[in-house]
Structure 1
Amino acid sequence: MSQPVPPPGNPYSDGAGQPPVGQNPYAQNPGGQAPSGGNPFAQGVPQQPGQNPFGAYPPAPAPRRNNIGLGLVAAVVAALVTAGIYGAILGGTETEIGWAAIGVGFAVGFAAGKVGGGNPVLPVVSAVLSLGAVYLGQLVGIAVYASKEFGVSFTDLFFNEFGMLTEAWAEGKDAMTFLFLALGAVAAFSAAKKASA
């Protein structure tokens, strides 16, 4: 009796009726084209470990941040916001708090470094802006305290009697006042360096 001849295109063409070992009979043919009616998504080459299964290019690197203008804007906004918060804390507690001054400096430096990138000017500018923010926060604290003591509106006192607030600050300053200014500046400088890395 004779053996039947397999039809053309039969994946079991080795004559034994079994698919070749380790191969998918429905995958691409050796010519690299998918068989008609077969799976167009099958691949003839096995996937290697560590390869991207979708064959896409590796992700593009993140864009390098080095925008000094945006960094300065972010630092100024952070300085104004944290000065208000610092002043509210000082006026509410009626005492200077070192960690709050450090927090002001950290926020200013972090904002500048994160948004502006690794420009070497930003840590220095952050330190200067932090000095201004801590000073402004101390003036806000004096205004909050005085508005509670004398029953005057904070906005009237702060915007109409700013000269009086600076005189009150000059009379009340001591070594701790300058220490808090320095702590804020150091915190801003180091935070800007670390955030840009």
Structure 2
Amino acid sequence: MTQSVPPQPAEGNPYAQQPGAVPPPTDGGNPYAQQPGTQQPYAQYPGAVPPPPAPSAPARGNITLGLVVAVVVALITAGIYGAIIGATEREIGYAAIGVGFLIGFAAGKLGGANPVVPVVSAVLSLGAVYLGQLLGVAMITADLAGMSLSTVLSEHFDVVTAGWNESTDAMTFLFFAIGAFAAFSGAKKAAA
């Protein structure tokens, strides 16, 4: 029977590389890094396309982003609500609900469950419904006066606000309340 002698370290260094041993990794110790001399998995198939990277997680719980998006949605929905009022020459409750819900949903989806988000959404909804009503009155005034909408808004805004004040009734304030409630509840539901 022959006895095997373990290889001796080089010049007395117990940590020196032994002959035939695997060299230490050069990638900082990452065991999953690609080893030298190996190919990428799709490099061996010419024309093969690797799969796209996994989508990143949606931004949730970012209150700043949620509120910025809510302001943008408020301005857009105010314009749409104003166009509906201008085209139909009447206020529509379902549109006020839609304005509020869209603002609240956008804010809650991105802003998360922060208790400030529903409150700010309700306030933004009040402003959006008001701006939409002013825009609708301006469209109706521009149509009756035979002027452009930009002229009415820039040169005769006092006429627009006077027309809004004259047309204000209990239903106007009901639409404010409906829009604010829809925004508050939409933000709560989207954050859940």
User: 2:155 matched to which residue of 1?
Assistant: 160
Unaligned runs of 5+ in 1: 1-58
User: 1:169 matched to which residue of 2?
Assistant: 164
Q: Distance in 1 between matches of 2:184 and 2:93?
A: 17
User: 2:178 matched to which residue of 1?
Assistant: 183
Q: Distance in 1 between matches of 2:84 and 2:58?
A: 38
The one of 117, 124, 140 equivalent to 1:145 is 140
1:88 aligned to 2:93? Answer: no
Does the 8 A contact of 2:81 with 2:95 survive in 1? yes
1:115 aligned to 2:114? Answer: no
The code of the aligned residue for 1:76 comes to V
What's the offset of the Cα at 1:159?
A: 2.8
Structure showing greater radius of gyration is 1
User: 2:92 matched to which residue of 1?
Assistant: 97
Question: In 2 relative to 1, CA 153–63 (structure 1 residues): closer, same or farther, beyond 3 Å?
Answer: closer
The one of 177, 186, 192 equivalent to 2:187 is 192
What's the offset of the Cα at 1:118?
A: 1.2
Does the 8 A contact of 1:101 with 1:180 survive in 2? yes
User: 1:125 matched to which residue of 2?
Assistant: 120
Question: In 2 relative to 1, CA 171–117 (structure 1 residues): closer, same or farther, beyond 3 Å?
Answer: same
What's the offset of the Cα at 1:149?
A: 1.1
Does the 8 A contact of 2:141 with 2:160 survive in 1? no
Q: Distance in 2 between matches of 1:62 and 1:74?
A: 18
Kindly report the root-mean-square deviation, in angstroms, between the aligned alpha carbons of the 2 structures.
1.7
Does the 8 A contact of 1:71 with 1:115 survive in 2? yes
Cα deviation digits, residues 24-45 of structure 1 (max 9, x gap): xxxxxxxxxxxxxxxxxxxxxx
3-state SS of the aligned residue for 1:132?
A: helix
- Counting aligned pairs with the same residue, the percent is 65
Superposition misfits of 4+ residues, deviation over 4 angstroms: 61-64
User: 1:79 matched to which residue of 2?
Assistant: 74
Q: Distance in 2 between matches of 1:64 and 1:103?
A: 24
Cα deviation digits, residues 156-197 of structure 1 (max 9, x gap): 112332232122111210000000010000000000011111
